[in-house]
Amino acid sequence: MFATLRRLYATIPDAAAAARTASTPRAVRLRRAKQGIEVDPQESDATPEGLTPSEFARYQRALAKGELLQADGTNLTEAQWLERLDSRRSRVRGIKAVSTDGEKVVGQKIYLPNIIFKMVRNHTLPGQPYNPYEATFRVPQSVTKTDIRSYLLAVYGVQTTYIRTDNYQSPLRRGRGLPASTVPDRTYKRAVVGLVEPFYYPLAEEDMPRQEREARQKWLQERLLVGKRDVDRQLYFLRFTRSVDGKGWKWRTGATASRGNILRLIAERRAAREQTVEDVKARIREDRAKTPAETGAV
């Protein structure tokens, strides 16, 4: 079983190799560009034997140091060195091969259920396609690259081509009368893992068609009780509208049951008030226009 997994690890598909090249960090691409190594992002930068530029430079250093010399006086070829490197990457921790006939267990397997791997969506720049040969996880800071590779292989059987990690340190939070400290639940390590087989992350709700988005929201409401807190809040406020004797509800009257009715009543009363003012003005003008004889003044 593990021999097959190692062989698959060594012979990754061309699409996965191209995706590995496209996800190379910017600092690495700039450093390689200064050295005259420029490759199209849509193509793989690996050698015909499958070595990446970093692995090829590592192979050249080991060759110059004489670390690849065999008993027959020849050096390991690139393909042989890559096969040995891949077999070490895909090894099962706690097992050591002591001979060609069998294996000897030198350690005990320890399962740590308190380690949580949280899978998140890959960071994709605007206008660029989603990379299915890459997965992003948020892991505890104590987890190493070897732990990540062994965990994905032993638990899920996932083959990895590369692992890049970086740490996110939460900003300082100062409490009342306490020194500044970080927020523990917001400090994590991000692990970007290259995959041999593609994995397509589910679409976000804003990217789904209308019918699929409505079906998903309905499923979330029924299965995961999403939005139940708002419904409970409405029912809680509704209980306060009951009458004191509990025989009915304190609903508004028909005239003030909606915003439209309220605005209509305000407009009618304002119009009536303005009409009253105009009538008073007209009566005052008529009184001023009358002669003293008409008014009966002496």
For 86-113, the pLDDT digits (tens) are 777 766 655 555 655 665 555 555 555 6
pTM: 0.56
Is the model's pLDDT at 75 over the cut of 60? yes
Residues 6+ apart with CB under 8 A from 56: 47, 78
Task: Report whether 177 contacts 168 (CB < 8 A).
Answer: no
User: Each residue of 235-273: pLDDT tens digit?
Assistant: 887 776 665 555 655 555 555 567 777 888 889 999 999
Burial of 257 (0-12, 13-18, 19+ CB in 10 A): exposed
Q: What are phi and psi of 136, to 5 degrees?
A: -120, 130
